[in-house]
């Protein structure tokens, strides 16, 4: 992002607003259809869109049948296109419109590309359906039968052919689109597949697509899958109200997908016009293609098909408004599904991944007992639940879980009580070990001021306690021929909020290492809601979820309440997990991460969030910038050396892990300069 670009404009951050129009039409009335097209084209441009797709044969209507061979209709469609071209002068948004066009004594079903008074190219349909209710081969010729590679239309000579890519150029880097027409995407290898390999990031389909029972669901899956396989955005239009219902019906089903995700979908069976818009993330598509190295390998394998495409420069200008907010759903909790229908299924899957991974490690190690430290806090609670479920899955008694709570100088009565209740409810072999005597000995040995009664609560004081707990756990594992289960989570590893070589960092196997804090919080609540471990356990779990996250290594206040807060030190986990996801999963620049965070967290609107997955706070931009700076410094500069030696752990989600053997390999002595520098482009 150049520093002169407006931060609050979505185009600055690699997005492009696209649209699909579903106009009302009249059969064989090109003048009327042109008026509808022009109105929606202007409306799309006014909303900041740079590309709008119209239905197949939209200037004539799709359902003209043998009227397509009438000269009056064909001439009327050319006049209608000329009107659309003339009306586009001064409009900096591409319109892709459909019409019948005679070229070299053959009639083609084509898409015409229009921008600012120019006709940029004409694309004929490749595959003509001639089965069921379709008889297109009766009227039209396929693209493969075209002789000419240029056509003169509306007083302009422009490229003609199916294998074209339209490149927006430097004004909108990353926007390169390809056009196919209806049936083209229904065949085993659509033309857009090769176009994507040739560089197209946006695939446009001018469709008519009549409706029959169940077809909308199939259409939905088809478009989503094509966008996913091509790692592209896919715009799909459909004919709406006004098409002939002599033998068919029409539902105006328009879709915009991006890499398998549905961004926008029209309301079916409307009797008026619709304009569907969505903001596609061009940078995200490019980065996904770069990360997925098999994508380039596939392009190389199909080198001849890729080389057949010619590029048409578009010279498209982007809207340069000082503010053009994003119109796109961005999850506040990217690791936690916001859709309640899929949330339980996701939790079940995460839980099963962790349980199966631990079961395999137990069996392969030849031991049958687990050792775990239980603090009464969030992470150790979830790890204990995974241990209990693993024992059940393996048919072993839960008494094989040797759970230890080890109160120190700062352990609160609340967390100690929660730990004891959990261990009892789950039927573990539970024991309480007061670590203060062994800590006192260590403090004496190193001549720490606290040993002489001075209340010096420095990092040494804190880590003596953390180290003593870890030492106990590993020696207990030796003593009982058991395995130490780690409890530290992905968020703590990202921020380096763990003590090197101790319990939240080191273990024999860590079930939580790729599970972020926001997801762990919901997993614990989800297990409580299932009630499989009994009501006493469920109540204890709810109490844990409602406990402030604290390391409890510095003595609390006079009332015994903890004075330490993890989030006061490293920032709110709900926001830092957001930063982590877009940094780790997509490699976005900090300025873009901040833009997304502002869009998502900039106000207090909670949207459709399931109960319990977040506090739904609002963060103004200066606060987002401050917490993001903390994240960047800790993630890129100070914490990699801790991540370089973490124990084995299962990868849980596609959002990434920080295992040095898996998703993340980085030097331990890199600088954070470029990330912090980019952050300074964010306004204060």
If 0-12 CB within 10 Å is exposed, 13-18 middle and 19+ buried, where does residue 384 land?
buried
Which is the catalytic residue, given 56, 180, 283, 468?
56
Which is the catalytic residue, given 25, 182, 347, 387?
182
Q: Is 651 annotated as a binding residue?
A: no
Q: Is 209 annotated as a binding residue?
A: yes
Q: Is 215 annotated as a binding residue?
A: yes
Q: Is 492 annotated as a binding residue?
A: yes
Q: Is 649 helix (H, G, I), strand (E, B) or coil?
A: coil
Which residue reads 């209806």 in tokens? Answer: 182
Return the ∠ at Cα 330 (arms to 606 and 178), rounded to 5°.
Answer: 150
Distance of CA 671 to the CA centre of its chain: 27
Distance of CA 592 to the CA centre of its chain: 14
CA distances from 151 to 58, 112, 121, 141, 155 (A): 20, 11, 8, 16, 10
Q: Is 395 annotated as a binding residue?
A: no
Q: Is 537 annotated as a binding residue?
A: no
182 is catalytic: yes
Q: Is 245 annotated as a binding residue?
A: no
Phi, psi (degrees; rounded to nearest 5) at 303:
-60, -40
Scanning 232-374, the segments in alpha helix (DSSP H) are: 282-291, 293-301, 303-307, 340-365
- Which residues fall within 8 angstroms of residue 252, CB to CB, at 6 or more apart? 22, 238, 239, 240, 241, 266, 267, 268, 269, 270, 274
Q: Is 637 annotated as a binding residue?
A: no
Q: Is 682 annotated as a binding residue?
A: no
Which is the catalytic residue, given 25, 64, 125, 347?
125
133 is catalytic: no
Q: Is 500 annotated as a binding residue?
A: yes
Biggest alpha carbon distance in the chain?
Answer: 104
Q: Is 126 annotated as a binding residue?
A: no
Cα gap 639→187, rounded to integer Å: 50
Start-to-end CA distance of the chain, whole Å, equals: 17
Q: Is 277 helix (H, G, I), strand (E, B) or coil?
A: strand
- CB of 180 closer than 8 Å to CB of 192: yes
257 is catalytic: no
Distance of CA 11 to the CA centre of its chain: 18
Tokens standing for residue 450: 């606290």
Q: Is 169 annotated as a binding residue?
A: no
Which DSSP string corresponds to 151-217? EEETTEEEEBSSSEEEE-GGGSTT-EEEEEEGGGGTSSS-HHHHHHHTT-SEEEEE------TTHHH
Phi, psi (degrees; rounded to nearest 5) at 102:
-85, 125
Q: Is 374 annotated as a binding residue?
A: yes
Which residue reads 């997925």 in tokens? Answer: 292
Kindly state the helix (H) or strand (E) to which residue 19 belongs, with its residue range. Answer: strand 15-22
Tokens standing for residue 312: 């048409």
Q: Is 109 annotated as a binding residue?
A: no
CA distances from 351 to 363, 523, 678 (A): 18, 8, 37
- CB of 409 closer than 8 Å to CB of 439: yes
If 0-12 CB within 10 Å is exposed, 13-18 middle and 19+ buried, where does residue 423 land?
buried
CA distances from 322 to 12, 359, 506 (A): 10, 55, 49
Q: Is 409 annotated as a binding residue?
A: no
Catalytic residues: 56, 125, 182
Q: Which residues are annotated as a binding site for L-glutamine?
A: 131, 209, 215
Q: Which residues are annotated as a binding site for ATP?
A: 373-380, 487
Q: Which residues are annotated as a binding site for deamido-NAD(+)?
A: 463, 492, 497-500, 642
């Amino acid at each position: 992002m150049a520093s002169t670009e407006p931060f609050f404009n979505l185009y600055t951050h690699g997005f492009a607003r696209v649209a699909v129009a579903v106009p009302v039409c009249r059969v064989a009335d090109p003048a009327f259809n042109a008026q509808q097209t022009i109105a929606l084209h202007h409306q799309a441009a006014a909303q900041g869109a740079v590309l709008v797709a119209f239905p197949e044969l939209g200037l004539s209507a799709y359902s003209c049948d043998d009227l397509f061979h009438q000269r009056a209709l064909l001439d009327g469609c050319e006049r209608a296109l000329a009107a659309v071209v003339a009306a586009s002068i001064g409009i900096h948004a591409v319109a892709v419109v459909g019409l019948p066009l005679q070229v070299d004594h053959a009639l083609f079903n084509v898409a015409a590309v229009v921008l600012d008074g120019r006709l940029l190219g004409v694309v004929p349909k490749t595959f003509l359906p001639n089965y069921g209710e379709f008889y297109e081969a009766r009227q039209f010729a396929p693209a493969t039968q075209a002789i000419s590679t240029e056509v003169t239309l509306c007083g302009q000579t422009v490229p003609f052919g199916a294998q074209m890519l339209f490149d927006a150029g430097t004004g909108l880097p990353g926007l390169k689109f390809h056009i196919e027409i209806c049936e083209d995407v229904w065949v085993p290898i659509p033309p857009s597949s090769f176009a994507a390999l040739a560089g197209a990031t946006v695939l446009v389909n001018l469709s008519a697509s009549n409706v029959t029972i169940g077809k909308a669901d199939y259409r939905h899956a088809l478009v989503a899958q094509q966008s996913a396989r091509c790692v592209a955005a896919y715009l799909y239009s459909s004919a709406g109200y006004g098409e002939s219902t002599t033998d068919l019906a029409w539902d105006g089903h328009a879709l915009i997908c991006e890499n398998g995700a549905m961004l926008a979908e029209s309301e079916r069976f409307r009797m008026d016009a619709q304009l569907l818009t969505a903001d596609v993330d061009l940078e995200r598509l490019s980065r996904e293609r770069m990360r997925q190295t098999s994508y380039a390998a596939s392009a190389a394998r199909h080198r001849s098909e890729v080389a057949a495409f010619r590029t048409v420069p578009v010279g498209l200008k982007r809207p340069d408004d000082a503010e053009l907010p994003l119109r796109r759903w961005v999850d506040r909790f990217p690791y936690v599904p916001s859709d309640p229908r899929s949330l339980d299924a996701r939790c079940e899957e995460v839980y099963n991944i962790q349980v199966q991974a631990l079961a395999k490690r137990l069996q392969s190690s030849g031991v049958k007992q687990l050792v775990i430290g239980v603090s009464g806090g969030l992470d150790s609670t979830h790890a204990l639940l995974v241990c209990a479920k693993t024992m059940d899955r393996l048919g072993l008694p839960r008494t094989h879980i040797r759970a230890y709570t080890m109160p120190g100088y700062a352990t609160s009565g609340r967390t100690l009580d929660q730990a004891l209740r959990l261990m009892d409810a789950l039927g573990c072999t539970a024991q309480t070990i007061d670590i203060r005597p062994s800590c006192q000995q260590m403090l004496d040995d190193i001549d720490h001021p606290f040993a002489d009664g001075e209340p010096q609560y420095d990092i040494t004081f804190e880590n003596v306690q953390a180290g003593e707990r870890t030492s106990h756990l590993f020696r207990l594992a030796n003593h009982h021929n058991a395995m130490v289960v780690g409890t530290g989570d992905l968020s703590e590893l990202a921020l380096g909020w763990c003590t090197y070589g101790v319990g939240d960092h080191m273990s024999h196997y860590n079930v939580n290492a790729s599970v972020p804090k926001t997801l762990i919080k919901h997993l614990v609540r989800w297990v409580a809601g299932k009630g499989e471990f009994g009501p006493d356990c469920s109540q204890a779990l709810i109490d844990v979820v409602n406990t402030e996250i604290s390391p409890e290594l510095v003595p609390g206040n006079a009332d015994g309440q903890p004075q330490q807060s993890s989030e006061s030190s490293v920032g709110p986990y709900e926001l830092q997990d957001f930063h982590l996801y877009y940094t780790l999963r997509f490699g976005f620049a900090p300025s873009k991460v901040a833009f997304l965070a502002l869009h998502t967290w900039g106000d207090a609107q909670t949207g459709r969030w399931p109960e319990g997955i977040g506090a739904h706070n609002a963060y103004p931009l200066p606060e987002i910038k401050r917490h993001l700076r903390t994240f960047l410094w800790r993630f890129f500069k100070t914490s990699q050396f801790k991540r370089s030696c973490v124990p084995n752990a299962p990868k849980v989600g596609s959002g990434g892990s920080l295992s040095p053997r898996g998703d993340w390999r980085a030097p331990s002595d890199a600088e954070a300069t470029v990330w912090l520098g980019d952050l300074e482009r964010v306004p204060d």
